[in-house]
Amino acid sequence: MPTAILTGQPVPGSSIESELRSLGFEVRAASGAADAELLLAQVSAGERVALVDARFVGHLHSLRLGLTDPRFPLAAIPGAVTAQPAARQALTRAMARENLAVGGAALGGAPARVRQGEGDAESLADRITAALDADGADVHRPELGSLVAAVPADPQARNEARQSVAAVDDEAVRLKSAVKARDGFVTTFFISPYSRYIARWCARRGLTPNQVTTASLITALIAAGCAATGTRGGFVAAGVLLIASFVLDCTDGQLARYSLQYSTLGAWLDATFDRAKEYAYYAGLALGAARGGDDVWALALGAMVLQTCRHVVDFSFNEANVDSTAAAANTSPTAALSDKLDSVGWTVWARRMIVLPIGERWAMIAVLTAVTTPRITLYALLVGCAFAATYTTAGRVLRSQTRKASRTDRAAKALADLADSGPLAEAVAAGLRKPARRLPGFTAPAVALLGGLAVVATAALTGFGGPWPVVAAVAYVLTSGLAVARPLKGALDWLVPPFLRAAEYGTVLVLAAKADVNGALPAAFGLVAAVAYHHYDTVYRIRGGAGAPPQWLVRTIGGHEGRTLVITVLAVLLTATQFKLALTVLAVAVALVVLVESIRFWVAAHQGGAPAVHDEGEPA
């Protein structure tokens, strides 16, 4: 149980003790700074501890934001400071130095760093916060907005602070802040106005975000099953259930923000299940169409490939620029134009809608499923996603070309991890490292694009079973190695991972379609889904600060170039029916390896107390 140490002179009628207990703290009172240091030493090193001024006046949600958010090792609001186990040593040092500076007295020391009129300069918690700042510690200060957090210096100030508390409904603020600040049109105006209340209902009944996330997954899988029936009633039910799944998908994040229940495992589940839900629904549409005599597996697989490549563009661009000098300085004229457009209300929503974020996309899929056919639904999805991908990618290319960026080694390492190079590409890269340094800056994305186009085009333009796709795949191995032979720090090097994803997925799609045998495309769908899961897992590990998956895993499943070469060789050596079986075996094998390692890693990270994270997710 976390412990809160109350310091300073108690105030008759104060509710601070009961408020802290309602937040789960065990409350102990300190008679002075020296006593507070002693109590701090007595708290278990594995527990959160907080120092709170007994004169604190403010909203309960201010205390919740300042003292219970699991994402930040150190956090403070006026009159209170808290440390998680990872930051206990910093808090203990600051407390010891404060007591040494004042000779063990309870008062004195550096003035508190709070806004004038909001706090008492003699507050021990504020002095400790100032000492932590002086040490260079990263102290999180939540944005309180209209919420009150103060340590009044006299009765008049206390009365004014209490009036300010009464004037603001902190529950309304809490509900509003549970909604993501930046979201799509459909989510903002058609889902969040009521899903926030579902989140509060869940919180009051002790439900966790992970439980709501799982409910969303189950609902989406049932929707996919309804779509697979191939009946009009099944399609209508599928559309309704898909919307219900999305409502729950919004609710889990709002519940996390409402109750501050953030975790590494939760962020992974939320992101992973989103992909599983959507791609399972594509498969459900394909199965439903097949029951009606229409084969749309190629469209379903194409939609998954396109959507996954869109996400890789998002991930790669963000990782390449998250800590670049250009990102901090906003040096791109394109970025400046984007900011100018965002200053006009209607353009904000128009630009958010045309990228077809998840809310708009799922609403379109649900409605079209209910009133049209799977083929029309998937055609509309492909057209919409293709337009969105063109728009977003073109804008990012312009930003990259016009901004003056200096990318870091961390960004280059992230892009190399996202490339998913196997032993073949690594061997080629090692041999070409020196000559690659003398090549122009655009070499990496150019050779990745050309190599990918060559293997996909060759597979598409030659007959199934011919040797030319193998020749193109060998060339693809060489171009892939050259693309990563030097650090990916060029202006457009973030395009390398999406080009490689498109090449691998596209080759599997084309060869399965060319096999022209019943079951080949569903097998290819399963293989691409398994490999895409591995690629998403890589992204989420990087975002969680855990780095890429272990090298043994990447080498075991061959890397993108190894898998592409193996697929083309199998297409030459096997009959179409045997090729279908080989795709199925590969899909099962890759899925088992990556799922077992992924689940092992994330469960171990969660049990090991990995830092809590909260990923707002990509708009797409």
Q: Give pLDDT tens digits for 530-579.
A: 999 999 999 999 988 888 999 999 999 999 999 999 999 999 999 999 99
Question: In degrees to the nearest 10, what's the CA dihedral of 530, 535, 539, 544?
Answer: 50
Note whether 481 and 428 are within 8 A (CB): yes
pLDDT confidence of residue 319: 93
In a domain, 76, yes or no: yes
C-alpha of 272 from chain center = 9
Neighbours of 243 (CB within 10 A): 22
Enumerate helices (H) and strands (E) in the chain, giving the number of each.
27, 7
Single out the residue of 106, 110, 152 nearest to residue 130, CA to CA: 110
- pLDDT, residue 96, reads 92
Whole domain around residue 53: which residue ranges? Answer: 3-168
| Tokens, residue 189 | 């105006």
* 324 φ/ψ angles, rounded to the nearest 5 degrees: -80, 160
* Model pLDDT, residue 333: 63
Distance, first Cα to last Cα, the chain: 39
Does residue 568 sit in helix, strand or coil? helix
Whole-angstrom CA distances from 568 to 328, 535, 550, 565 are 44, 21, 26, 5
Q: What mean pLDDT is predicted for residues 434-438?
A: 92
CA distance 215 to 203: 15
**How far are the Cα atoms of 79, 160, 161, 164 from residue 153, in angstroms, in the given order?**
11, 11, 11, 15
Residue 102, pLDDT score:
65
Q: What is the pLDDT of residues 288-317, one digit of tens each?
A: 999 999 999 999 999 999 999 999 999 999
The pLDDT assigned to 17 comes to: 96
Residue 328 belongs to a domain: no
* DSSP H or E run through 26: strand 26-29
Same domain, 421 and 531: yes
What is d(CA 504, CA 448) in angstroms, rounded to the nearest whole number? 11
Cβ contact 167:136 at 8 Å:
no
- The sign one gets for the Cα dihedral 510, 511, 512, 518 is positive
- Give the C-alpha separation, 24 to 19, whole Å: 9
| Residue 335: pLDDT band with limits 50, 70, 90 | low
Which pairing describes strands 49-53 and 3-7: parallel, antiparallel, or unpaired? Answer: parallel
Residue-averaged pLDDT of the chain: 91
- pLDDT greater than 60 at residue 120: no
For residue 109, pLDDT over 80 is answered with: no
**How would residue 68 be classed by pLDDT, with cut points 50, 70 and 90?**
very high
Q: Is 52 helix (H, G, I), strand (E, B) or coil?
A: strand
381 and 265 assigned to the same domain: yes
Claim to verify: residue 117 and residue 244 sit in the same structural domain? no
Q: What pLDDT, in 10s, does the model give residues 169-190?
A: 999 999 999 998 788 899 999 9
What gap in Å lies between CA 158 and CA 563, rounded to an integer?
Answer: 69
The CATH number that applies at residue 452 is 1.20.120
Say if residues 377 and 365 touch (Cβ distance below 8 Å): yes
SS3 helix, strand, coil % of the chain, rounded to 5? 70, 5, 25
pLDDT of amino acid 329: 45
Are 148 and 204 members of one domain?
no
Q: Is residue 176 part of a domain?
A: no
Neighbours of 603 (CB within 10 A): 12
- Name residue 6's beta-bridge partners: 29, 52
Tell me the average pLDDT across 7-24.
Answer: 93
**Weakest-pLDDT range from 42-51, 61-70, 584-593, 610-619:** 610-619
Determine the average pLDDT of the residues in 85-97. Answer: 94
For residues 375 and 450, membership in a common domain is answered with no
Judgement on whether residues 54 and 139 belong to the same structural domain of the protein: yes
Q: How many domains does the chain have?
A: 3
Question: Per-residue pLDDT for 328 more than 50?
Answer: no
From 490, 494, 482, 325, select the one nearest 415 (Cα to Cα).
Answer: 494
Is residue 112 situated within a structural domain? Answer: yes
Q: What is the pLDDT of residues 449-495, one digit of tens each?
A: 999 999 999 999 999 999 999 999 999 999 999 999 999 999 999 99
pLDDT above 90: residue 99: no
Q: Is residue 314 classed as helix, strand or coil in its secondary structure? A: helix
Confidence at residue 118, expressed as pLDDT on a 0 to 100 scale: 37
| Tokens found for residue 230 | 């191939």
Looking at the fold, whether 158 and 206 belong to one and the same domain comes out as no
Full DSSP string of 246-286: HHHHHHHHHHHHHHT---HHHHHHHHHHHHHHHHHHHHHHH
What is the enclosing helix (H) or strand (E) of 27? strand 26-29
CA distance 592 to 108: 62
Strand-strand pairing, 57-58 and 3-7: unpaired
Claim to verify: residue 426 and residue 362 sit in the same structural domain:
no
How many angstroms from the chain centroid is the CA of residue 509? 28
> Of 116, 147, 168, which closes a domain?
168
Question: Would 267 be classed as within a structural domain?
Answer: yes
Please report the pLDDT score of residue 22 as a whole number: 96
**DSSP state, residue 431:** H
Q: Flag whether pLDDT at 620 surpasses 80.
A: no
Per-residue model confidence (pLDDT) at position 331: 54
Whether 525 and 568 map to the same domain: the answer is yes
pLDDT at 197 over 90: yes
- Same domain for 98 and 15, yes or no, is yes
Q: Which of 168, 189, 223 is the last residue of a domain?
A: 168
One domain for residues 50 and 150: yes
Residue linked to tokens 């063990």: 104
Q: What is the structure's pLDDT at 194? A: 95
Residue 318 lies in a domain: no
Q: Is the pLDDT of residue 346 over 80?
A: no
Count of positions (residues) in the chain: 620
Q: Tell me the residue type at 55.
A: R
Neighbours of 173 (CB within 10 A): 18
Tokens matching residue 594: 């990556």
Q: Is the pLDDT of residue 327 over 70?
A: no
Confidence of residue 614 (pLDDT cuts 50, 70, 90): low
pLDDT of residue 531: 98
pLDDT of 90 strictly over 90: yes
Q: Are residues 483 and 541 in the same domain?
A: yes
Tens of pLDDT along 254-264? 999 999 999 88
The CATH code of the domain that includes 285 is: 1.20.120.1760
What is the mean pLDDT of the segment spanning 333-348? 63
Does 321 fall in a domain? Answer: no
**301 assigned to some structural domain:** no
Residue 394, Cβ density class (10 Å: 0-12 exposed, 13-18 middle, ≥19 buried): exposed
Distance between CA 275 and CA 272 in Å, rounded?
Answer: 5
Give 100 or 127, the one with higher predicted confidence: 127
The last residue of one of the domains, among 403, 437, 471, is: 403
